[in-house]
């Protein structure tokens, strides 16, 4: 294994130990929330003094928490339905037309990624107060779609890079209109990128806090907004139960996106 | 499209029409970003130049320079971002290096340790630290049981807590681009150094580290910029005592309903962010060779 130019495994054991410790630092804090959420005590210690599902019951029986969850789910799903087609179309259009103008538009569409979210939040707040969109689902969807758009565009654009355009040209030379060539030839081949993009759009919206803090409320309060305001005042074990559910969702999304990526790598 | 007329002018007109109709597919997205981001940006920019009575003035910016409370906000934001970026590099560089040296299959598995937190809700991770770092949390009870401390340490609702939580959240933002750029380093360079007589340490410091600098710089500027605008984690783990720019903007707006002050602060934050990203981009291209920002 080791040759003269390379340190042996034994020589670099410290690197493995250090790396392992860092991975633990990254993983453990979040994972510790899972056993804590099954505690029967209202005081959050580790290990918990006894086990129970009371905090899950508390979450499930509280209309405030469940209705906030529904608001978040609804907004995230509609955001996926808005951001995925818009981002996919934009990525496709810019990929096919190219040129300096296309590059400029690409960067313009990527700006929500680098602008501090608090800045977008106050801008949206100012805009919505004039359009009567404050505290509405529509308002949340529009703002969240803007945040999700760059992710969708970037993922689909990278999918298009490995797609051979000549196949679409062949379809078109045989008489298929562009939209038909796109739907039957291009889209099926970049579908893994599009599905990953939709997943990321969902999580972007579902996890967003700052904009929701300013423009959601009342009946349209999102889960994250409610979690944030609750956490500011106290440490409520109900949040441990909610966190565990959210961790489950994230793990599902990561594994799914990893599997999709492996599949698309296989295809070359 | 079938049988386009065979003459130059018509072909060019056809190509133009084709170009615009394809480019136009990006216009709905552009409209969305324009309405939600560019239009309000212009408004906030304009708003920051008016005082409370609606007169054109620089009073909002003057206040930022003259009031000690704002100077403290800038100081806190800058120091905390700097500290977090430093710790993120301290933790992220060795991890990215280790990952880049492992066989790809093993590295992909270990990468889950970076990806899982990355995809986990920000609030969940912040909550986890809130619980771990509290007076009677796991860290304080462990330290006491080991006999290292007599009294619980104050780890949360202060600068320390905010720095720990923010570092945890920022590590993936550094590791992911850094790992990608380290993977792209040709291992033959390191071998060549060894061939010329350099030991593992020498070839690491003199060959590998300089080659990884563009990726590192990209990661550092990303982390620093994200820290400058960070709201949730410093607000919760700082317990209202660590006031960063984002929190202050929110306070100006919701507590004092002061649009002028909020937009002036927002404009400063935006310009600082843009400037850092621009400088990092320039530095990478000029000083360290190309390739990091593609």
Share of chain A above pLDDT 90, in %: 68
- A175 CB neighbours in chain B (<8 A) are 2
Burial of B61 from C-beta contacts in 10 A (0-12 / 13-18 / 19+)? middle
> Is the pLDDT at A167 greater than 70, yes or no?
yes
Whole-number pLDDT of residue B4? 56
Buried b (16+ CB within 10 A) or exposed e, A1-10: eeeebbbeee
Q: Residue by residue, what is the 3-state secondary structure of A175-242?
A: CCCHHHHHHHHHHHHCHHHHHHHHHHHHHHHHHCCHHHHHHCCHHHCCHHHHHHHHHHHCCCCHHHHH
pLDDT (tens digit per residue) in A64-102: 999 999 999 999 999 999 999 999 999 999 999 988 999
Give the residue from B22, B37, B42, B103 with the most A CB atoms within 10 Å of its CB, the best one to mutate.
B37
**Token pair listed for A112:** 């929500």
> Is the pLDDT at B292 greater than 50, yes or no?
no
Show which of residues 252-281 on chain B sit within 8 Å of chain A, judged by CB atoms.
Answer: 253-254, 259, 262-263, 266, 269-270, 273-274, 277
At residue B291 the predicted structure's pLDDT band, cuts being 50, 70 and 90, is very low
Angle at B213 between CA B209 and CA B218, to 5 degrees: 145
At residue B36 the predicted structure's pLDDT band, cuts being 50, 70 and 90, is very high
Quote the minimal CA–CA distance from A256 to chain B in Å: 12
- Rounded CA separation A51/A249 (Å): 23
Do B182 and B215 contact (CB within 8 A), yes or no? yes
**Out of A3-12, A23-32, A153-162, B23-32, which region has the weakest mean confidence (pLDDT)?**
A3-12
Closest by Cβ to B26, choosing from A11, A36, A105: A105
Supply the DSSP symbol for B35: I
- Rounded CA separation B165/B158 (Å): 11
Closest by Cβ to A231, choosing from B99, B127, B138: B127
- Rounded CA separation A18/A21 (Å): 5
Q: Rounded to an integer, what is the distance from CA B112 to the centroid of its chain?
A: 20
Complex confidence, ipTM:
0.90
> Is the pLDDT at A48 greater than 90, yes or no?
no
Better pLDDT: A12 or B22: B22
Share of chain A above pLDDT 70, in %: 97
> Is the pLDDT at B191 greater than 50, yes or no?
yes
Interface size between A and B, measured as CB pairs under 8 A: 253
Closest by Cβ to B168, choosing from A19, A29, A146: A29
> Is the pLDDT at B288 greater than 50, yes or no?
no
Better pLDDT: B266 or B1: B266
> Is the pLDDT at B287 greater than 60, yes or no?
no
Better pLDDT: B221 or A9: B221
Mean pLDDT value of segment B78-85: 97
Mean pLDDT value of segment A154-179: 90
**Token pair listed for B250:** 């929110």
At residue B294 the predicted structure's pLDDT band, cuts being 50, 70 and 90, is very low
At which residue do the structure tokens 């605008």 appear?
B229
Whole-number pLDDT of residue A262? 80
Closest by Cβ to A30, choosing from B117, B245, B259: B117
Contact B36 A143 (CB under 8 A): yes
> Is the pLDDT at A201 greater than 90, yes or no?
yes
pLDDT, chain A, mean = 90
Q: Which residues contact A66 (CB under 8 A, 6 or more apart)?
A: A59, A60
pLDDT (tens digit per residue) in B82-113: 999 999 999 999 999 999 999 999 999 999 99
Whole-number pLDDT of residue B290? 38
- Rounded CA separation A252/B17 (Å): 45
At residue B1 the predicted structure's pLDDT band, cuts being 50, 70 and 90, is low
By residue count, chain B amounts to 294
Alpha helix segments (H runs only) across chain A: 13-37, 54-61, 63-97, 99-110, 117-131, 137-161, 165-173, 178-181, 187-189, 191-207, 210-215, 223-233, 238-266
At residue A1 the predicted structure's pLDDT band, cuts being 50, 70 and 90, is very low
For residue A138, the number of C-alpha atoms closer than 13 Å in the C-beta half-sphere is 5
Contact A109 B33 (CB under 8 A): yes
By residue count, chain A amounts to 268
Whole-number pLDDT of residue B195? 86
Better pLDDT: A253 or A194: A194
For residue A177, the number of C-alpha atoms closer than 13 Å in the C-beta half-sphere is 3
**Token pair listed for B232:** 């949730």
Whole-number pLDDT of residue B7? 81
Q: Model pTM?
A: 0.90
Across-strand partners of A51? Answer: A39
> Is the pLDDT at B243 greater than 60, yes or no?
yes
Whole-number pLDDT of residue B5? 58
Mean pLDDT value of segment A234-241: 88
| Sequence-distant contacts of B17-26: CB under 8 A, at least 24 apart | B19/A97, B19/A99, B22/A93, B22/A96, B22/A97, B22/A178, B23/A93, B23/A94, B23/A97, B23/A101, B23/A102, B23/A105, B24/A93, B25/A89, B25/A90, B25/A92, B25/A93, B26/A89, B26/A90, B26/A93, B26/A94, B26/A102, B26/A105, B26/A109
Give the residue from B32, B48, B129, B145 with the most A CB atoms within 10 Å of its CB, the best one to mutate.
B32
């Amino acid at each position: 294994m080791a040759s003269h130019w390379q340190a042996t495994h034994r020589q670099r054991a410290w690197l493995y130990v250090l790396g392992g410790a860092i991975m633990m630092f990254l993983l453990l804090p979040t994972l510790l929330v899972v056993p804590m959420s099954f505690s029967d005590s209202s005081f959050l210690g580790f290990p918990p003094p006894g086990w129970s599902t009371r905090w899950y019951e508390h979450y499930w029986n509280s209309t405030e928490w469940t209705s906030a969850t529904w608001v978040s789910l609804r907004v995230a799903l509609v955001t996926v339905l808005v951001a995925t087609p818009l981002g996919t179309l934009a990525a496709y259009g810019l990929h096919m037309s190219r040129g300096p103008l296309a590059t400029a538009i690409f960067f313009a569409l990527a700006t929500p990624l680098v602008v501090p979210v608090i800045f977008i939040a106050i801008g949206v707040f100012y805009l919505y107060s004039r359009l009567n969109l404050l505290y509405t689902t529509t308002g949340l969807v529009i703002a969240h779609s803007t945040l999700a758009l760059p992710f969708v565009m970037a993922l689909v654009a990278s999918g298009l890079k490995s797609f051979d355009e000549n196949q679409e040209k062949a379809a078109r030379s045989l008489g298929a209109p562009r939209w038909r060539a796109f739907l039957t030839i291009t889209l099926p081949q970049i579908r893994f990128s599009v599905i990953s993009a939709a997943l990321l759009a969902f999580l972007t919206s579902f996890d967003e806090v700052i904009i929701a803090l300013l423009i959601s409320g009342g009946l349209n309060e999102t889960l994250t907004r409610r979690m944030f305001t609750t956490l500011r005042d106290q440490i409520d074990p109900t949040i441990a139960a909610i966190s565990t559910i959210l961790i489950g969702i994230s793990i599902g999304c990561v594994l799914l996106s990893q599997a999709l990526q492996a599949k698309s790598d296989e295809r070359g | 499209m079938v049988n386009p007329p065979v003459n130059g002018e018509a072909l060019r007109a056809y190509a133009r029409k084709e170009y615009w109709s394809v480019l136009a597919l990006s216009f709905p997205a552009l409209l969305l970003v324009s309405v939600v981001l560019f239009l309000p940006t212009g408004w906030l920019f304009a708003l920051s130049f008016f005082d409370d009575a609606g007169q054109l003035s620089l009073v909002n910016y003057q206040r930022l320079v003259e009031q000690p409370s704002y100077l403290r906000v800038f100081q806190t934001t800058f120091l905390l971002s700097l500290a977090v970026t430093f710790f993120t590099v301290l933790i992220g560089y060795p991890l990215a290096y280790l990952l880049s040296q492992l066989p790809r299959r093993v590295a992909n598995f270990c990468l889950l340790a970076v990806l899982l937190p990355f995809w986990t809700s920000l609030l969940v991770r912040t909550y986890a630290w809130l619980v771990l770092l509290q007076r009677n949390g796991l860290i304080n009870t462990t330290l006491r049981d080991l006999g290292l401390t007599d009294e619980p340490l104050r780890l949360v609702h202060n600068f320390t807590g905010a720095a720990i939580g923010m570092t945890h959240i920022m590590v993936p933002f550094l590791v992911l681009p850094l790992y990608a750029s380290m993977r792209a380093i040709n291992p033959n360079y390191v071998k060549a150094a060894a061939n010329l007589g350099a030991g593992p340490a020498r070839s690491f410091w003199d060959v590998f580290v300089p080659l990884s600098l563009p990726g590192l710089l990209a990661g550092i500027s990303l982390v620093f910029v994200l820290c400058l605008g960070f709201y949730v984690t410093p607000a919760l783990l700082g317990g209202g005592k660590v006031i960063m720019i984002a929190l202050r903007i929110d306070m100006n707006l919701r507590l004092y309903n002061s649009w002028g002050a909020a937009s002036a602060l927002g404009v400063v934050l935006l310009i600082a962010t843009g400037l850092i990203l621009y400088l990092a981009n320039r530095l990478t291209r000029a000083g360290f060779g190309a390739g990091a920002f593609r």
